[in-house]
Homo-oligomer: A and B are copies of this chain.
Amino acid sequence: MLLILRDLFRGVRRFSQLEEDLGIAKNLLASRLTKLVAADIVSKVPYQDRPVRQEYFLTQKGRDLSPSLVALMGWGDRWYNDGTPPTLLVHSECGTPLKQITQCPSCNDSLDPAEIRSRPGPGASVGS
């Protein structure tokens, strides 16, 4: 699932390209794409009529998964790739490897997990 999303973020659009790039069985790829479409994370758009062929795109909800994927890639690089990433995520304009920061907008501090607390938000149900 994560690798399909990563390919879609990179601009891979077609079933055959995804299949080749991921080395995944057709039926598995098809069922995962169906789930992603059902979850409104991916949309498909026909690009050919006979036979019908689709291209796959991330929806806004799908693109909004970007920070989660960036974070998981960073975690994988630190803990499974000895800190030497096989792939770097960079700013398209200048090529600099990006950083992901958890920040306090009031103090402007970059936060450590130990400095994060949780409290009920506006959507908390009464009494919970």
B-contacting residues of A (Cβ < 8 Å)?
9-10, 61, 63-68, 70-72, 74-75, 77-79, 81-82, 84-107, 109, 111, 113-125, 128
Contact = CB atoms under 8 A, between A and B. Distances in A.
B64 A122 contact: no
A117 B88 CA distance: 8
B98 A100 contact: no
Nearest to A58: B113
Q: How many copies does the complex hold?
A: 2
Contacts of A85: 121-123
Contacts of A123: 77, 81-82, 84-86
A71 B67 contact: yes
Given A118-B10, A120-B86, A102 B66 contact: yes
A46 to B, nearest CB: 24
Contacts of A64: 75, 78-79, 113
Contacts of A77: 121, 123
Given A9-B113, A106-B94, A113-B63, A118 B79 contact: no
A26 to B, nearest CB: 23
